[in-house]
Amino acid sequence: MLQNRMIYIFLLLFAQAAFAIAQEPPDPDAEGPLTSRLDLSYMFGGQFYNDHFVYDPGVAVQFTTNYRVSKSFETGIGTGYISLMNENFIPIYIEAFGYKKNKRNSPVIRFQLGGAIAWLNTGAYPPDYSMNGGIFFSAGMGRKIPLNDRYSILFHWSLCHISAKVNYEVFGNDDYISPAHYDMLQLSIGVIRE
- Please tell me whether residue 21 adopts helix, strand or coil conformation: helix
**Cα distance between residue 130 and residue 122, in whole Å:** 9
Task: Mean pLDDT check: name the lowest of 12-21, 33-42, 132-141.
Answer: 12-21
pLDDT above 50: residue 48: yes
Domain locations along the chain? 91-194
Give pLDDT, residue 127. Answer: 75
- Please tell me whether residue 4 adopts helix, strand or coil conformation: helix
Amino acid type, 191: V
> CB–CB of 80/112 below 8 Å?
no
* pTM (two decimals): 0.79
Give pLDDT, residue 131. Answer: 87
**Cα distance between residue 112 and residue 78, in whole Å:** 9
